[in-house]
Structure 1
Amino acid sequence: MHRIPEAGSGEIKYGAQLTVRENQAGVFFYQGKAVGVFGPGRHTLKTANIPLLTKIAAMPWGFTSPLRAEVYFVNMKTFTNLKWGTRDPVAFKDAALGLIRLRAYGVFNLRVVQPVLFINRMVGTQGVYTTADVSAYLSQVIVSRFNDTLGEILDTLARLPARYDAISQRLSRRLREDFGHFGLLLTHLYIGAVTPPAEVQQAIDDQSRMEVIGDMDRLLRMKAAMAVEKAAGSGAGDGMGAGLGLMMPAMFAQYLAPSASGGRTPEPGSGFACPECRSRIPEDARFCPQCGHQQVIFSQCANCGKNLTPNARFCPRCGCSTTEKPLNRPCGACGAENLPGAVFCNQCGERM
Structure 2
Amino acid sequence: MGADNLILLEVLEWFDETGQELLHRLPERGSGEIKFGAQLTVRESQAAVMYYKGRAGDAFGPGRHTLKTGNIPIITKLLSSPWGMTSPLRAEVYFVNLKVFPNLKWGTRDPVAFRDSELGFVRLRAHGMFNIRVIQPVLFINTLAGTMGKYSTEQIEEYLGRVIVSRLNDYLGETLDTLFSLPAQFDEMAEDLKKRLVRDFVRFGLALDDLHINSITPPEEVQAAIDDRSRLGLIKDMDKFVRMKAGMAMEKAAAANSEAGGAAIGMGLGLMMPGLFAGMQTQAQTAPEQVPCSDCGNRIPASARFCPLCGQQQIVLMQCASCGNNLTPDAKFCSRCGQPADRKPAPVICTACNQENLPGAKFCGGCGLKLC
Report the TM-score range of the alignment, normalised by the length of the smaller protein: 0.5 to 0.7
Q: Distance in 2 between matches of 1:255 and 1:126?
A: 80
Q: Where do 5+ consecutive residues of structure 2 fail to align?
A: 1-22, 287-372
Tell me whether 1:197 sits opposite 2:219 in the alignment: yes
Give the match for residue 40 of structure 1. 62
Give the match for residue 82 of structure 2. 57
Tell me whether 1:137 sits opposite 2:159 in the alignment: yes
Q: Deviations over 1:176-217 (max 9, x none)?
A: 111000111112111111111111110111122222235777
Q: Distance in 2 between matches of 1:65 and 1:224?
A: 94
> Which residue, out of 37, 61, 70, partners 2:92?
70
SS class of match (1:163)? helix
More strand by share: 2
CA RMSD of aligned residues (A): 3.7
Q: Are 2:242 and 2:280, in contact at CA under 8 Å, matched by a contact in 1?
A: no
> Which residue, out of 187, 194, 204, partners 1:165?
187
Q: Are 1:149 and 1:171, in contact at CA under 8 Å, matched by a contact in 2?
A: yes
Give the match for residue 14 of structure 1. 36
With over 3 angstroms needed to count, the CA separation of the structure-2 counterparts of 1:223 and 1:92, relative to structure 1, is farther
Bigger Cα displacement from structure 2, 194-203 vs 256-265: 256-265
Bigger Cα displacement from structure 2, 207-216 vs 122-131: 207-216
Q: Deviations over 1:243-276 (max 9, x none)?
A: 7xx999x99xx999994523699xxxxxxxxxxx
SS class of match (1:101)? strand
Tell me whether 1:107 sits opposite 2:98 in the alignment: no
Tell me whether 1:186 sits opposite 2:211 in the alignment: no
Q: Distance in 2 between matches of 1:67 and 1:108?
A: 41
Q: Distance in 2 between matches of 1:18 and 1:258?
A: 89
Q: CA deviation at 1:224?
A: 9.1
With over 3 angstroms needed to count, the CA separation of the structure-2 counterparts of 1:100 and 1:255, relative to structure 1, is farther
Q: Are 1:3 and 1:70, in contact at CA under 8 Å, matched by a contact in 2?
A: yes
> Which residue, out of 17, 21, 24, partners 2:46?
24
Give the match for residue 108 of structure 2. 86
Give the counterpart letter for 2:147 in structure 1.
T
With over 3 angstroms needed to count, the CA separation of the structure-2 counterparts of 1:54 and 1:27, relative to structure 1, is same
Q: Distance in 2 between matches of 1:225 and 1:36?
A: 84
Q: Distance in 2 between matches of 1:70 and 1:256?
A: 91
Q: Are 2:112 and 2:123, in contact at CA under 8 Å, matched by a contact in 1?
A: yes
Aligned ranges for residues 249-260 of structure 1 at < 5 Å?
259-260=277-278
Aligned ranges for residues 306-325 of structure 1 at < 5 Å?
none
Q: Are 2:52 and 2:91, in contact at CA under 8 Å, matched by a contact in 1?
A: yes
SS class of match (2:103)? strand
Q: Distance in 1 between matches of 2:180 and 2:241?
A: 20
TM-score if structure 1 supplies the norm length?
A: 0.62
Give the counterpart letter for 1:127 in structure 2.
G
Give the counterpart letter for 2:74 in structure 1.
A
Q: Deviations over 1:85-122 (max 9, x none)?
A: 11111111111111111111111111111100000011
Give the match for residue 280 of structure 2. 262
Give the match for residue 313 of structure 2. none
Q: Distance in 2 between matches of 1:183 and 1:125?
A: 16
Q: Distance in 1 between matches of 2:90 and 2:149?
A: 15
Runs of 4+ with deviation above 3 angstroms:
214-226, 254-260
Q: Distance in 1 between matches of 2:275 and 2:86?
A: 96
Q: Distance in 2 between matches of 1:78 and 1:255?
A: 68
Q: Deviations over 1:290-327 (max 9, x none)?
A: xxxxxxxxxxxxxxxxxxxxxxxxxxxxxxxxxxxxxx
Q: Where do 5+ consecutive residues of structure 1 fail to align?
A: 233-238, 266-283, 285-352
Q: Bigger radius of gyration, 1 or 2?
A: 1
Give the counterpart letter for 1:126 in structure 2.
M
Give the match for residue 331 of structure 1. none
Q: Deviations over 1:267-288 (max 9, x none)?
A: xxxxxxxxxxxxxxxxx9xxxx
Give the match for residue 355 of structure 2. none
Q: CA deviation at 1:150?
A: 1.6
